[in-house]
């Protein structure tokens, strides 16, 4: 499904000097129609009560979904994928360790893409579920 043959190391290089880099997001796997990554739950991603900040979960979700849409563009010099809408339901608190996100397509159209991003803890229990709509624009 993805149009680009890209190595995980290349994705990590794209992440340099971005919010994903600042929060410690690491790409783990690129499948035919999904991308998986992990993010640490530590001082960078905590809210004041010492648990994973919902906004950090949304950053992980939007990072995965945005990159997934980018990898579907036939020619990134002529089009760009930009976030149109995101929602997130925070299901379970996490105090430390890692959370894992995986983006999968719900809809891949000519002008919009919709992604489901499931974020789980180290025990594979659901922490957050997010839906991201991307607009595909011509440059």
What pTM was estimated for this model as a whole?
A: 0.95
pLDDT of residue 2: 83
CATH of the domain at 53: 3.10.129.10
CA distance 106 to 90: 20
pLDDT of residue 76: 87
- Hey, is 57 helix, strand or coil? helix
CA distance 139 to 137: 6
Pick from 41, 44, 84: which is nearest to 66 by CA?
84
Reply yes or no on whether 29 is catalytic.
no
Return the exposure string of 34-64: e unless at least 16 CB atoms fall within 10 Å of the residue's CB, then b.
bbbbbbbbeeebbeeeebbbeebbbbbbbbb
The residue segments making up the domain with residue 58 are 8-138
Q: Is residue 134 part of a domain?
A: yes
Q: What is the pLDDT along the chain (139 residues), one digit of tens a residue?
A: 886 678 888 888 988 999 999 999 999 999 999 999 999 999 999 999 999 999 999 999 999 999 999 999 988 899 999 999 999 999 999 999 999 999 999 999 999 999 999 999 999 999 999 999 999 999 9
Q: Is residue 12 part of a domain?
A: yes
pLDDT of residue 4: 66
Bridge partners of residue 64, in order along the sequence: none
Q: Is residue 83 part of a domain?
A: yes
**How many separate domains does the chain show?**
1
Side-chain-side CA neighbours of 51 within 13 Å: the count stands at 9
CA distance 92 to 67: 25
pLDDT of residue 85: 98
Q: Is residue 107 part of a domain?
A: yes
Q: Is residue 24 part of a domain?
A: yes
Q: Is residue 66 part of a domain?
A: yes
Helix (H) or strand (E) holding 65: helix 54-70
Question: Encoding tokens for residue 71?
Answer: 């990898």
Catalytic residue among 9, 62, 116, 122: 62
Q: Is residue 2 part of a domain?
A: no
Q: Is residue 3 part of a domain?
A: no
């Amino acid at each position: 499904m993805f149009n680009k043959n890209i190595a995980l190391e290349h994705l990590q290089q794209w992440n340099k000097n971005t919010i994903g880099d600042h929060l410690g997001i690491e790409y783990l796997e690129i499948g035919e129609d999904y991308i998986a990554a992990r993010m640490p739950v530590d001082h960078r991603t905590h809210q004041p009560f010492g648990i994973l900040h919902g906004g950090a979960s949304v950053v992980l979700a939007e990072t995965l979904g945005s990159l997934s849409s980018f990898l579907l563009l036939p020619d990134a010099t002529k089009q760009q994928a930009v976030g149109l809408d995101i929602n997130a339901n925070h299901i379970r608190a996490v105090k430390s360790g890692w959370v894992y996100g995986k983006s999968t397509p719900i809809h891949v159209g000519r002008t919009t893409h919709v992604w489901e991003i499931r974020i789980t803890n180290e025990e594979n229990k659901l922490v957050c579920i997010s839906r991201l709509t991307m607009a595909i624009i011509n440059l």
